[in-house]
Amino acid sequence: MFDISLEQRQYLTFILCDRTTNSLLEVVPERGGIITRWCVQGQEILYLDRERFANPELSVRGGIPILFPICGNLPDNTYTYHGKQYTLKQHGFARDLSWQAFGSISEQGVSLQASLHSSEQTQAVYPFDFGLTFTYQMKGNSLTIYQHYTNKSSQPMPFSAGFHPYFLTRDKTQLEFEIPSTEYQDQITKKIHAFDGNFDFNSDEIDVAFKQLKRKSATVTDNSRKLKLTLDYDDFFSTLVFWTVKGKDFYCLEPWNAPRNAINTGEKLTILEPGASHSAIIRLTVNFF
C-alpha cells in the first residue's frame, strides 16, 4: 500500500510511504529538490545534519543533494565560455534553488516528480536555457531516480551532473567496499593510488574519485548495521566519488557523469545540442542480513 502526504515544517515536505515494507521517503522541493530522508524496513539509510539544513545560508550536508551544472569545485570558482568568465560555486546551483513537484502512485511504486528550469538568476552564472525533470520512485527496498536533462537554448549546452548521497553509518571500520575500479585519484593531492577495497579512516578527510569504472554497480556492506547498499547507474555516469570526514557518522558514494572541473577541461563533459534531451538513471537498493 502506497501513499503520499504533505507536511508543512520549516519547508513544505513531501512524504512518500510504502506501508507494505515500512519504507519512507521525504523530499523538500523548496530546498534544492533534495531527498532528506529514506527509511527501509523502518531503518534510517541517510544522514542529515539538521542544523545546517535549517539554515538556508548553508549548503545542506546530508540527504541526497543534486549536482548541476557542475560536479565538484572549479579553480577560483570560475569557468570560461566563449571568451567570457563566469562564476559557479561548488556543485553548481541546482541544490540551492526551489524546484516544482507533484506526487503520483502506480503499480511501479510511489513517485515524486520534481522540475527545475532556467531563470535570469541561473543565466547570470550559466548562460543557457534548460529544463530538468527528476522522478524519485520508491518501491520496497529500492529507490530509483530517473533524470531528464533538456537544452532549450539555441546553442550547445555543456554540463555535468550527479548526486551527493550521505549514507548513515555508526562505525566506518565495519564498512566493506566493492567499487568497480582498481585505482582512484586523491582529490586533495591529485595523486593516483591503487585501490584494494580499503580506506584509512584515521585520516581527517578522504576525498577520492574513481574514474576507471569496470561495471555499472557498486556496493557497500555495513556490518555494524547488518545492511548492504547497492548503487546501480547507467552509462551516463563515468565517475564515482567517495568522501567522508573524521568524526562524522556518514560516508558519501557519489555518482557523477564527469569529474570536477570538466566544464573547463572537457573531460567526460556532456554537451547537449540545441533542443536535445538526455535521460539517465540511478538506483539504490538496501538489503538486510
Number of domains the chain is built from: 1
44 is a domain residue:
yes
Query: Which CATH number goes with the domain that contains 16?
Result: 2.70.98.10
Domain boundaries, position 127: 2-174+233-288
pTM of the predicted protein model = 0.97
12 is a domain residue:
yes
The pLDDT of residue 77 is: 98
- Residue 120: CB atoms within 10 Å: 6
| Residue 43 near residue 27 (C-beta atoms within 8 A) | no
For the chain, the maximum distance between any two Cα atoms, rounded to a whole number of angstroms, is 56
pLDDT one-digit tens code per residue, 139-153: 999 999 999 999 999
279 is a domain residue:
yes
275 is a domain residue:
yes
188 is a domain residue:
no
Burial of 234 (0-12, 13-18, 19+ CB in 10 A): middle
pLDDT one-digit tens code per residue, 83-100: 999 999 999 999 999 999
107 pLDDT exceeds 90?
no
| CA atoms lying within 13 Å on the CB side of residue 70 | 26
